[in-house]
Amino acid sequence: MFISSQNPPPCFKGFTLVMPAVAVGNVGQLAVDLILSTLKMRRVGYIHTDCLIPMTGNNPYATCNEDAEELHTPAEVYTATEQKMAILQIRAPIIQTKSKKFRQLLVSWIKASGFSRTVVLSSSHAYQRDDQQMKGTPLRYLVTPSLLKESALALEELSWREMEQVPAFPGLTDANTDPRLYIPGGGITKGLYMDSCAVDLPLAVLLLFCSEGDNIPDAFTLVNHLNEWLHLLEKPSQKPNKWKIPSSWSLLFGSGIPPAMF
């Protein structure tokens, strides 16, 4: 359930929603962090659900001491009105037995809110790629039929590579084994995509094959890929995009080795 922090509640009709899937390397969440920090988006509410591990923490996008003490929750919604864009940032793992319930909650909220399209940023295990997926770029996309009707030309101009379907049993040539969509390490990505297809929801998935570790470079790769389509940040000529790193990333790998150890 969406709980607004504003009165009256925000109107999302016609907005683009961008959200991460909690997946390998947390690449989608890191990419969303870059968007929120760079565009200085405003928090307008949160998703109240028992499907996420409960947690709270300080403001991950603090710019001064005054706003650093704000409390933030596992699933929050931000908007940038000028860009007609909303962000759902998910900061906690989904409880495994409630994954389906969480997907249903998301689909219901997205439909009720009137978003024009939804983009899910995700990732998948690089070591479980099929032979054909080893070639070329590690970036892939999926799009539901309802969004394809509107965005087919834009996607064609981008020359992106669609996520391949792979054999259910690699190595077997039995004609009865149809290929399937397989996103190992992708969390709810596949389920949310399939649910969206079933209810005719305009949704796209952008994902990156990666490995666990320092996934900051992967986040930049994914958000730059998204930027090619949505043009969130104008790219200076011959220079990389200037995404702003949030203050919370200073503790991404802990606070360092305590000097007392030595």
Band of the pLDDT at 143, cuts 50, 70, 90? very high
Query: What is the DSSP pairing of strand 57-58 with strand 71-72?
Result: antiparallel
- Cβ pair 43, 77 in contact under 8 A: yes
pLDDT of residue 172: 64
Task: Identify the helix (H) or strand (E) that includes residue 216.
Answer: helix 216-230
The residues pairing with 42 across neighbouring beta strands, listed in sequence order, are: 79
Q: What is the DSSP-derived secondary structure letter of residue 261?
A: G
pTM over 0.95: no
| Inter-CA distances, 178 with 135, 167, 175, 188, Å | 22, 6, 7, 22
Band of the pLDDT at 113, cuts 50, 70, 90? very high
pLDDT of residue 256: 67
Give the integer Cα–Cα distance in Å for 61 and 245.
9
For residue 93, what are the contacts with CB-CB under 8 A and spacing of at least 6? 22, 52, 53
pLDDT of residue 237: 56
Percentage of the chain exceeding pLDDT 70: 92
Give the integer Cα–Cα distance in Å for 28 and 16.
16
The least confident of 118-122, 130-134, 209-213 is 130-134
- State the number of CA atoms in the 13 A half-sphere of 228 facing the CB: 14
pLDDT of residue 163: 94
List the domains of the chain with CATH numbers. 10-168+176-261 (3.40.50.10900)
Taking 60 as the threshold, does the pLDDT of residue 141 lie above it?
Answer: yes
The least confident of 33-42, 170-179, 187-196 is 170-179
Give the integer Cα–Cα distance in Å for 27 and 247.
17
